[in-house]
Structure 1
Amino acid sequence: MVAVLMSAVAASSGITVIYTMLVTLYRVFPGSASVGWTVTAYWLGAAIFAAICGRLGDLLGYRRVLLIVLVVAAAGGAVAACAQSIAVLIAGCAMQSIASGITPLSMGLVRENLSSRQIPSAVGLISAAGMVSAGLIYICAGVVVDHYSWQGGFWLKVALCALTITAVRLWVPQSSCRASERINFVRGLAFAPALCAILFAVQQIHAWGLMDPRIWGILIASLVVLWLWARDQRRVTNPLIDIRILAKRQVILANVCMMCIAIGAMQLGQVFSLLLQQPAWTHAGFGLTATQAGLLMFTINSVAMIASPWSGRIAARYEARRAALIGMGMLVMSWTGLIVLRSNLLLFVPGAMLCSFGLAFAHTAVYNLIIEASPAEQTGEATGLLYVFFSCFFAVGAQAVFTLLQGASVNEGGASFPAAQSYVAVFAYVAGSALAGLAIAYVLPRRRGPGRQSRALDSARVSGPARVR
């Protein structure tokens, strides 16, 4: 578990380090309009690698594929640190996006090595490690970039990957290999360019406009390719991505729940970071420095250390459905409450912590929903597909939040910031998406949690044959 949690930290460092140094990169590469592609390239690669690495973990062994992923991510960090041009920097960030595969591989390792009663809590620990370490890495990377060099942020990521590789080699048992069948990788990977095109179109909405025919042309063509690919994968005997797993009701609804989280509550970092640092003269922000905001964001994210394991314990004792209902309900209440609490920092911080608590609770529950409904040998594949849904709809949510923040602005001295009513619109939008997620969680099928099943079996063994009948 120590090695798996270190892997979660390495995974969370991927995009966090890039976010931390964006302002610095604009200074290092002045006049370049391509700096934003460091983030875009990362998310494009993340959506693809999560599904592929999860599936390869099911086939070749989770430990082996995890080590390969960590090596490639470390190499990407080194390439970015040594980059002398923006093109090489983007290539390095794209290589680092393979770290998205760590999450499904970690879920597979946990399911392979722990008992059924321990799995939900372990999933909670992985989720907590990712959220809390993201806040800590934000601070550490900022210190390295401010006091040493911008390359130091990427070298920090290389060091994290190197330490994790050592831990995995020492402490993680060998995984079983199931690659006995032949798989057509060329046809199986046909989804990758279509998925990249969809994410690219979503990213370009701000630059081209929603009604631009290029946006809709790319989206329609990509969806047609995805439909043809899905039909082909359903027909072959040994598909690279077995989309038939999505036919299960609980898997479908869990992915829809993740969609609701990604378009809304997962935008927490973007919204809160801007609100905390926005000048006080706008009557909407709190005017904190970047360091103060970073420390406060770390504090807000730290509640995941309680929320995620607690969500896992509820899933283990009862069912993941109950944990999802609790998490979604907290998100609805907390984001609605921020509409009233947003004007006072002393009231806003507890409200923001409750938002983070609900996010961690619901996020952990969704992964446990997927694990409950998926065969053990398809854990990596199922959780990898869940990450694909997350990546796609996270990009959609980011564009929606950005549009709402531009709805009304306050201008002074050439500077423009979102007005108070724009933040109210964002809070209402996130609360609405959480309410939709709550409705989806409510219609999830009821089932007996692993803990209750184990206790029932134990009781049957003690009571004898009559009790079993």
Structure 2
Amino acid sequence: MLADAPPQSSWREPLTEGRRRWFLLAVLMSAVAASSGITVIYTMLVTLYRVFPGSASVGWTVTVYWLGAAIFAAICGRLGDLLGYRRVLLIVLVIAAVGGVVAACAPSIAVLIAGCAMQSIASGITPLSMGLVRENLPARQIPSAVGLISAAGMVSAGLIYICAGVVVDHYSWQGGFWLKVALCAMTIAAVRCCVPKSHRRSGARIDFVRGLAFAPALCAILFAVQQVHAWGLQDPRIWGLVTASLVVLWLWTRHQRRVTVPLINIRLLAKRQVILANACMMCVAIGAMQLGQVFSLLLQQPAWTHAGFGLTATQAGFLMFTINIVAMVASPWSGRIATRYEARRAALMGMTMLVITWTSLILLHRSMLLFVPGAMLCSFGLAFAHTAVYNLIIEATPAEQTGEATGLLYVFFSCFFAVGAQAVFTLLQGASVSEGGASFPAAQSYVAVFGYVAGSALVGLVVAYALPKQGNPGRRSRVTDGGGLSGPARTR
């Protein structure tokens, strides 16, 4: 069993205060590089439809990114546990940068899609960053650092949306990808200079061929979900893909449970807190995480529909950045709650906020003056809950499995984010208003979406309440300064 393997890193000299600041800066830059991956692609979608007219494959730039993200997050996290988080992070950043170059120089839509597929490896940055934080920081500082990483991802997504839009509008669509390349290059330099080398675990031989069998099966499921709108829910191809993939995943799970050192340690998912934390992430992904899709559309939808506010893309981008910036307060606060008490309490608080705020939008969305504060509170609750879920996973797993556990969490996020996007799209299509050939969701469609997200958050609240009050059964009593994890969670 992997849990019986020697610790990933031996005792190391704690970082000084000055080196700790530089270390955190490098990790936060990694979070920015990770968030730029899909944000840049979203920003230029309309432009790509003009650059490649008549192509039905432009949408695959997004689809292939999410397919790759679901796979690479788990694989990169596991490789980080084995080979060292810093080493694997640098490799990931290089591949993502090369993908940006390929996309920027793409002569055809096929090459562009290949470049976007390479960039999807950036999803592995998150679990690797979590592993670095746990490897290099004192236990009491880990939850707050996780909050900073989460905040950096959300806030930078809004900022990159604006920057990429300016570059695409005033220079060229390729400029968006070059912006991503520049971010990766700066992050590589920061990681090399400011992040201590990770120790490599030795002696573990892994069957990568059979261990990677989950990848095509997971891709097939996500592809089926993406094709629901095009093929229809009753299409036998949808259910054929899902059924065959589930059979492959079942066989793969049996194999991974039997081998001594699996590529993906399925035993991690057997812990009660890990199961419930992944269930919380599922509830967040299918609901509140659709915030960008819903709010961006609502802000730009014409006012004559009596549902939207008629803002330009630039105006909506600045407002979305304003909505997201509250994560700078919410995520670190969630981390401090997890440090002082436990991640369960932070999860309960975050889910409660999501239920209240999304329910309130049923009334507040009629006025811009009321909607913006309500949307900011929704973003606040999302950042709070999202950070709490990652801390739940870190709280319940051994230090040497941090990358793998958080990578699996990202897999759950990617899968259910795709499901939630389809659910929201279907609800928005429920009732529409039209004029001059243009059709937009009606006000009642948005109300249905707000109710759906509030309902998913309510399920998440119930799941969070079922979490064990003392998440890590091996943890010792808390230190007197209100610090974080101890026992097997500490690496020093």
What TM-score does the superposition give when structure 2 sets the normalisation length? Answer: 0.92
Write the mapping of 1:13-412 to structure 2, written as runs, cut at 5 A: 13-412=36-435
Tell me, yes or no, if the aligned pair for 1:316 and 1:451 is still in contact at 8 Å. no
Letter in 1 for 2:339: A
Tell me, yes or no, if the aligned pair for 1:117 and 1:451 is still in contact at 8 Å. no
Aligned-partner SS, 1:259: helix
State the partner residue of 1:453. 478
Deviation at 1:73, TM superposition (A): 0.1
The structure carrying a bigger helix percent of its residues is 1
Tell me, yes or no, if the aligned pair for 2:26 and 2:191 is still in contact at 8 Å. yes
- Distance (whole Å) between structure 1 residues aligned to residue 106 and residue 479 of structure 2: 54
- Distance (whole Å) between structure 1 residues aligned to residue 31 and residue 482 of structure 2: 34
Do the aligned partners of residues 448 and 98 (structure 1) sit closer, same or farther apart at CA in structure 2, a change above 3 Å counting?
Answer: closer
- Distance (whole Å) between structure 1 residues aligned to residue 471 and residue 135 of structure 2: 21
Do the aligned partners of residues 338 and 29 (structure 1) sit closer, same or farther apart at CA in structure 2, a change above 3 Å counting?
Answer: same
Tell me, yes or no, if the aligned pair for 1:318 and 1:451 is still in contact at 8 Å. no
Tell me, yes or no, if the aligned pair for 2:147 and 2:334 is still in contact at 8 Å. yes
- Distance (whole Å) between structure 1 residues aligned to residue 382 and residue 205 of structure 2: 40
Tell me, yes or no, if the aligned pair for 2:85 and 2:132 is still in contact at 8 Å. yes
Do the aligned partners of residues 352 and 452 (structure 1) sit closer, same or farther apart at CA in structure 2, a change above 3 Å counting?
Answer: farther
Tell me, yes or no, if the aligned pair for 1:70 and 1:161 is still in contact at 8 Å. yes
- Distance (whole Å) between structure 2 residues aligned to residue 116 and residue 444 of structure 1: 21
- Distance (whole Å) between structure 2 residues aligned to residue 242 and residue 233 of structure 1: 7
Deviation at 1:143, TM superposition (A): 0.1
Letter in 1 for 2:211: G
Tell me, yes or no, if the aligned pair for 2:273 and 2:471 is still in contact at 8 Å. no
Tell me, yes or no, if the aligned pair for 1:317 and 1:452 is still in contact at 8 Å. no
1:148-202 deviation line (CA, Å, top 9, x unaligned):
0000000000000000000000000000101321101001000000000000000
Letter in 2 for 1:455: T
1:105-163 deviation line (CA, Å, top 9, x unaligned):
00000000001100000000000000000000000000000000000000000000000
**Contiguous gaps of at least 5 residues in structure 2:** 1-23, 484-492
Aligned-partner SS, 2:433: strand
Aligned-partner SS, 2:479: helix
How many aligned residue pairs are there?
458
Aligned-partner SS, 2:215: helix
State the partner residue of 2:486. none
**What is the aligned counterpart of 2:447 among 419, 424, 436?**
424
- Residue identity over aligned pairs, in percent, reads 86
Tell me, yes or no, if the aligned pair for 1:317 and 1:451 is still in contact at 8 Å. no
Which of structure 1's runs of 4+ aligned residues deviate more than 6 A? 448-452
State the partner residue of 2:28. 5
Tell me, yes or no, if the aligned pair for 2:299 and 2:316 is still in contact at 8 Å. yes
Tell me, yes or no, if the aligned pair for 1:318 and 1:448 is still in contact at 8 Å. no
Aligned-partner SS, 1:357: helix
Aligned-partner SS, 2:480: helix
1:268-297 deviation line (CA, Å, top 9, x unaligned):
000000000000000000000101000000
- 1:442 aligned onto 2:458: no
1:416-451 deviation line (CA, Å, top 9, x unaligned):
000000000000000000000000000100017989
Letter in 2 for 1:392: C
- Distance (whole Å) between structure 1 residues aligned to residue 202 and residue 219 of structure 2: 27
Aligned-partner SS, 2:139: coil
Deviation at 1:456, TM superposition (A): 8.3
What TM-score does the superposition give when structure 1 sets the normalisation length? Answer: 0.97
Letter in 2 for 1:314: I
- Distance (whole Å) between structure 1 residues aligned to residue 420 and residue 35 of structure 2: 19
State the partner residue of 2:487. none
Aligned-partner SS, 2:57: coil
Tell me, yes or no, if the aligned pair for 2:339 and 2:482 is still in contact at 8 Å. no
Aligned-partner SS, 1:455: coil
Tell me, yes or no, if the aligned pair for 2:93 and 2:188 is still in contact at 8 Å. yes
Deviation at 1:452, TM superposition (A): 6.6
Aligned-partner SS, 1:447: coil
Tell me, yes or no, if the aligned pair for 1:318 and 1:452 is still in contact at 8 Å. no
**Contiguous gaps of at least 5 residues in structure 1:** 459-469
1:49-71 deviation line (CA, Å, top 9, x unaligned):
00000000000000000000000
Aligned-partner SS, 1:411: strand
- Distance (whole Å) between structure 2 residues aligned to residue 106 and residue 224 of structure 1: 33
Do the aligned partners of residues 31 and 251 (structure 1) sit closer, same or farther apart at CA in structure 2, a change above 3 Å counting?
Answer: same
State the partner residue of 1:462. none
Letter in 1 for 2:123: S
Query: How big is the alpha-carbon RMSD for the aligned residues of Structure 1 and Structure 2?
Result: 1.2
Letter in 2 for 1:100: S
Aligned-partner SS, 1:435: helix
Aligned-partner SS, 2:478: helix
